[in-house]
Amino acid sequence: MNKSLIVSATSASDLINAKLAEHQIIGPNLCPSCNYKIDQKPDWIGLPAGVKFDPTDQELIEHLEAKVSTHGLGSHPLIDEFILTIEGEDGICYTHPEKLPGLAKDGVSKHFFHRPSKAYTTGTRKRRKIQTTEVNNEQGETRWHKTGKTKPVIVKGEPKGCKKILVLYANFGKCRKPEKTNWVMHQYHLGEMEDEKEGELVVSKIFYQTQPRQFSAGETGS
């Protein structure tokens, strides 16, 4: 690599780090009553208007790899501002996308770290049924269903992870025809196995499809 390019990249990295440090809260926050140190989220400078977080498949796998390695120490200092972590009963497969932070029917993608769980105590089938507060079951169920095949994600010539596409279907129930919604999820996990492991951290991109979706040959709902 050109030596001047290396110097330029290093300078840019140093400049970013300096700016982040400059706009971070300095010193701990103390409770006025007992002087207990209160952990406070850094107050980062706002990004310029027009900045859009739109990572490629490869970049999402790299963000996921950095997040899981040594408890996220290799992650970009601002990554949690762009990819939220959703856990437990607020998880992706428990919560309708309309109720997830920042999501709307505007076609804008939002990204989340989360941990898929098993649907049953036995077997490997993942939970994809949306948790609802409906008292009756007249409206049926809402579920994420995989469409097409799981595809490898190649990073710098090597298979580093996998990507699967899921579509949200509504009105599952007896004698009903499920209705496909416009909610789409691209889910990524590390490794070369077709399915993620139980409790493994994955990253997903979720959005509302505002334009008619183009299906490739052989791509059908499962």
Claim to verify: residue 25 and residue 72 sit in the same structural domain: no
Q: From residue 124, how far is each of 153, 155, 196 by CA, in Å?
A: 22, 27, 10
Claim to verify: residue 28 and residue 111 sit in the same structural domain: no
Tokens of 57: 């498949």
Q: What is the pTM of this model?
A: 0.73
| pLDDT for position 123 | 53
Claim to verify: residue 187 and residue 158 sit in the same structural domain: yes
Claim to verify: residue 24 and residue 64 sit in the same structural domain: no
Claim to verify: residue 119 and residue 31 sit in the same structural domain: no
| pLDDT for position 168 | 93
Claim to verify: residue 71 and residue 3 sit in the same structural domain: no
Q: From residue 171, how far is each of 115, 139, 183, 221 by CA, in Å?
A: 25, 6, 14, 15
Claim to verify: residue 123 and residue 90 sit in the same structural domain: yes
Residue 220 lies in a domain: no
Which long-range contacts link 145-149 to residues 24+ away (Cβ below 8 Å)? 145/169, 145/221, 145/222, 146/222, 147/215, 147/219, 147/220, 147/221, 147/222, 148/216, 148/218, 148/219, 148/220, 149/218
Residue 149 lies in a domain: yes
| Distance of alpha carbon 183 from alpha carbon 105, whole angstroms | 9
Claim to verify: residue 64 and residue 104 sit in the same structural domain: yes
Residue 190 lies in a domain: yes
Residue 72 lies in a domain: yes
Q: Which of 46, 62, 83 is the last residue of a domain?
A: 46
Q: Which of 28, 46, 64 is the last residue of a domain?
A: 46
Residue 219 lies in a domain: no
| pLDDT for position 5 | 42
Claim to verify: residue 66 and residue 14 sit in the same structural domain: no
Claim to verify: residue 141 and residue 195 sit in the same structural domain: yes
Tokens of 67: 């997040």
Claim to verify: residue 42 and residue 54 sit in the same structural domain: no
* Number of domains forming the structure of the chain: 2
| Distance of alpha carbon 177 from alpha carbon 60, whole angstroms | 35
**Burial of 204 from C-beta contacts in 10 A (0-12 / 13-18 / 19+):** buried
* 182-200 pLDDT, tens digit each: 999 999 999 999 988 888 9
Low-confidence ranges of the chain (pLDDT < 50): 1, 3-7, 9, 25-26, 135-136, 215-222
Using alpha carbons, select from 192, 154, 144, 193 the residue that is nearest to residue 57: 154
Give me the CATH number covering residue 66. 2.170.150.80
| Distance of alpha carbon 63 from alpha carbon 23, whole angstroms | 23
Structural domain boundaries enclosing 11: 1-46
| pLDDT for position 28 | 55
| pLDDT for position 12 | 56
Residue 221 lies in a domain: no
Residue 97 lies in a domain: yes
| pLDDT for position 4 | 47
* 61-79 pLDDT, tens digit each: 999 999 998 766 788 888 9
Residue 216 lies in a domain: no
| pLDDT for position 136 | 46
Claim to verify: residue 106 and residue 197 sit in the same structural domain: yes
